[in-house]
Amino acid sequence: MVPFRQIDDPEALRNLLDAFLVVESELDLAVVLRRIAESARSLAGARYAALGVLDERGQGLSQFIPVGLEPDVEAAIGHYPEGHGILGLLIVDPKPLRLADLHQQPESYGFPPNHPPMTSFLGVPVRVRDEIFGNLYLTEKVDGPEFTEADEALVSALAVAAGIAIDNARLHGRVRELVLLEDRDRIARDLHDTVIQRLFALGLSLQGAARLAHRPEVTERIDEAVDELDSVIRQIRGTIFALEDRATTGSVRRDVLRLTTELSEVLGFQPAVTFDGPVETLMPANAGADLLATLREALTNVARHAQASRVDVRLAAERDILLEVVDDGVGPPAELRPGGHGLGNMEDRARALGGKLVFEALDGRGARLAWRIPADQGA
């Protein structure tokens, strides 16, 4: 039961109602999650807040959405928490938790380098249909030494509305995907049966014309056009694979695009993303979270160290799943720290899935990270 009786401040109640309206007014799940964290931070007067989403087993965090951190601080922190220490207390025992000084708790796990100081703490679970979806974490009460019972009551009330908003957003997403399935099939069929065949025919015609050309520059221009057609065909094939993805519970492509959009604020620009092959079909069922964590780590490292102006992200599926991140920055240092935290995490994730990680300098400028794991050949 949410202790509404503890909320006796009319202004606080108005703020809570405003927060309800903000959270309930959006149907995109990613936007809903961030708005929940932002509203909780505002209601409790916290300097920092985050929404942690539980993984499928309910034993750790698969997503961590922080608010209140400056972009450069967020980039410097790098790897997001996975649900240890104080954060793990709410996972094990999902009930509100208030601490005047989280450092005094025996379960305190400490902070990574570059993390801002945090002392006061308030944690509240978020339930969706009586199941724990995740937890709201708030730290550093702005106008007092610690969070109050009234703060706990406000955030607990918001958590109820958050559960409803998350459920609505999920249902809306499923309905939208189901409505699109029929059109996806039709478009994919038309692209394969008509567009690609016509492009192939055009490419063959151009190759025949190249043999008849007498001027080298004409031949060169025709060869460039044929190469461009091949590139367009590969892109269309990728679009067909995406359209043929019938899964309604999740999409690796969508998650990759959302993550790159999220990190564009930290990078200062939007990464270019391409997909090649049946990524959804061949992606192992247990590899999606590790792939996204690796991509987050890789892009965060680019933001922190590379001084890059462009990043290309490529996710390809054939015999293997290949995640490739290429930047035009200063390149890796002459000597990489063996088992460094960021690269070590990515390498461990690949090895646990039977794969490997390669991180190398490019000729001239920049670096290439290739994270490769076996594809699901039984799909």
Give one DSSP letter per residue of 141-200, joined into a string.
ETTSSS--HHHHHHHHHHHHHHHHHHHHHHHHHHHHHHHHHHHHHHHHHHIIIIIHHHHH
3-state secondary structure of 135: strand
Above pLDDT 70, what percent of the chain? 71
CATH of the domain at 9: 3.30.450.40
Residues 6 or more apart in contact with residue 219 via CB below 8 angstroms: 210, 213
Residues 6 or more apart in contact with residue 379 via CB below 8 angstroms: 281, 282
Single out the residue of 255, 286, 257, 296 nearest to residue 379, CA to CA. 286
In a domain, 186, yes or no: no
Q: Could you say which of 117, 140, 173 is where a domain stops?
A: 173
In a domain, 195, yes or no: no
In a domain, 232, yes or no: no
The C-alpha atoms of residue 255 and residue 217 are separated, in whole angstroms, by: 44
pLDDT at 282: 87
Residue 201 burial (C-beta neighbours within 10 Å; 0-12, 13-18, 19+): exposed
The C-alpha atoms of residue 246 and residue 266 are separated, in whole angstroms, by: 33
CATH of the domain at 354: 3.30.565.10
pLDDT in tens, 296-342: 999 988 988 888 999 999 998 888 999 999 999 988 876 655 444 57
In a domain, 233, yes or no: no
In a domain, 273, yes or no: yes
Q: What is the mean pLDDT of residues 267-292?
A: 87
Q: In terms of domains, do 22 and 163 share one? A: yes
Q: Could you say which of 141, 173, 205 is where a domain stops?
A: 173
Q: Could you say which of 173, 192, 217 is where a domain stops?
A: 173
Q: In terms of domains, do 154 and 255 share one? A: no
In a domain, 350, yes or no: yes
Single out the residue of 313, 228, 310, 250 nearest to residue 276, CA to CA. 313
pLDDT at 247: 43
Q: In terms of domains, do 19 and 134 share one? A: yes
Domain count, the chain: 2
pLDDT in tens, 136-180: 999 999 999 999 988 998 898 888 888 888 888 877 776 666 555
In a domain, 203, yes or no: no
In a domain, 243, yes or no: no
Q: In terms of domains, do 267 and 141 share one? A: no
Q: In terms of domains, do 161 and 283 share one? A: no
3-state secondary structure of 279: helix
Domain containing 276: what range?
250-379
3-state secondary structure of 337: coil
Give one DSSP letter per residue of 64-89, joined into a string.
EEEES--HHHHHHH-SPP-S-HHHHH
Reported pTM? 0.49
Single out the residue of 333, 337, 335, 261 nearest to residue 299, CA to CA. 261
